[in-house]
Copies of this chain bind each other. A is one copy, B any other.
Amino acid sequence: MVSIKDVAALAGVSDRTVSRVVNGEGLIRPKTKKKVQKAIETLGYVPNQAARLMRTSRSSVLGLITDVVSTTPFSTDIVRGIQDALDDTPYTLLTVNTSADPAKEQRAWKIFREHGIGGVFYVTMFHRHVPRDTEFPSTPTVLVNCSAPDQALPSIVPDDYQGGLDAVRHLVEQGHRKIAYVVLNELILAADLRGRAFFDGLAAAGIEVRKEWIVPGRVGAIFADKLVAFENARRILDNPDRPTAVVCGNDEIALQVYCAATDLGLRVPDDVSIIGFDDFQVITTGIQPPLTTMALPYRDMGALAVRMLLDIIAGHPPKKKHVEYRCELVIRNSVSPPK
C-alpha cells in the first residue's frame, strides 16, 4: 500500500504537508502543492480511510438498514434517491438487509458500530410505525417510510392520506359516483391512511359508501400475504349493478383488477376506470392502457433523507422532525368519465 509517507518522500516534503494537500487544509505554496499532487499521481496514492477514521473518528461511511426494501422491487426508488443524492457527497453506503428479523437488525447495528459509521438510514418497504420496543443506538439516524413512537427520531413518510384523498377526488371530478375500493393488506399503515381517505373523500362528495364494494386485495401476515384482488374484483364487477371506477390499494392490485375486468370482457377505461397507487412503472407503463396512479414520492424522500442526515451529522438538527411528503397524481389512460 502506498502511503502518505511515500508521497512525502517522492515530493521531498513532510508527510504532514501531503496530508494538508490531500485535505485542502491551510495555506500551501502553489509550487509545493503541485509537487505533491504530481507525486500522488505517479504513485497512484489514495488515502486510507481506515487510518483516517481511526485518527478522526469521523467516518465517510453511512449505514443503510432495510427490512427487504433493496431486494424487493417496490420501494427501490427510496434507495435510488439516497444513492443518487450521496453521489455529490464524500459518503458511501454500507448496506445491511434484515428481512425484518429483529436478530439481524441487532447485528446490523453492531456491524455499524464496529465500522464507526457516521449515520444511518433506516428504510422500510411499507409505510409503517416502527415497533415500540425497537432499540435505536445513539448514532444519527433518519427513518424513511416509517416513523418511531413519539417521533423520537427524525422520519420521512409519504402522505398517504392526502394521496388517497386526491385519488378519490380525481374520480369524483370525472363524474364517478359508483366507486369500489380494493384494499391493500389492512395490517399496513398505508392501507389505514388510504382507507380513511377513501371514506372521507366519498363523504365530502356526498356519496354513500357501498360496503359490498370494499374488498381486500391482499390477506395474511405481512411478507407472507396472498393476492386475492383478482377474485374479489371479479365478483364485484360481474354484476349489472357494478362500480364504474375502482380505487386500488396499490399498482399490483390494480393489475389484478385490470385482469379481472378484461376477463369479464369489460374495457378499461370505457367500462371501468381504474386508479392505482405507487406508480410502480413496470406495471403502470407496462399495461395497456397505461395506468393512472398516485405516485409515491420515493426518490424525493430518499434525497431529503440524505439532506437531513448530513445536517444532523453536521450538528444542525432539522426543525421539522417528521416530514410527510406529498403524493402526486400521475394521469395516464385508465380513467375516463363514466358512460
A235 to chain B: closest CB distance in Å?
Answer: 13
> Which of A225-256 touch B at CB < 8 Å?
227, 230, 252, 255-256
Asked if residues A71 and B79 are in contact (CB atoms below 8 Å), the reply is yes
The distance in angstroms between the C-alpha atoms of A80 and B110, with both chains bound, is 21
Quick check: is A14 within 8 A (CB to CB) of the other chain?
no
Asked if residues A286 and B252 are in contact (CB atoms below 8 Å), the reply is yes
**Which B residues are CB-close (under 8 A) to A288?**
230, 256, 259-260, 263
When all copies of this chain in the complex are counted, the total is 2
Asked if residues A259 and B287 are in contact (CB atoms below 8 Å), the reply is yes
Quick check: is A150 within 8 A (CB to CB) of the other chain?
no
> Which of A67-101 touch B at CB < 8 Å?
70-74, 76-77, 79-80, 83-84, 87, 92-97
Quick check: is A114 within 8 A (CB to CB) of the other chain?
yes
Chain B, Cβ-Cβ closest to A108: B92
Choose, from A50-58, A140-148, A205-213, the stretch at the interface: A50-58
Quick check: is A104 within 8 A (CB to CB) of the other chain?
yes
Choose, from A29-37, A277-285, A306-314, the stretch at the interface: A277-285
Q: Mark A137-159, 1 if CB is under 8 A from B, else 0.
A: 00000000000000000000000
Q: Interface residues, chain A, CB within 8 Å of chain B?
A: 1, 46-51, 53-54, 57, 61, 64, 70-74, 76-77, 79-80, 83-84, 87, 92-97, 104, 110-111, 113-116, 227, 230, 252, 255-256, 259-260, 262-263, 265, 280, 282-283, 285-288
| 8 residue pairs A–B, Cβ–Cβ below 8 Å | A50-B50, A50-B54, A71-B83, A72-B76, A73-B280, A76-B76, A84-B97, A283-B286
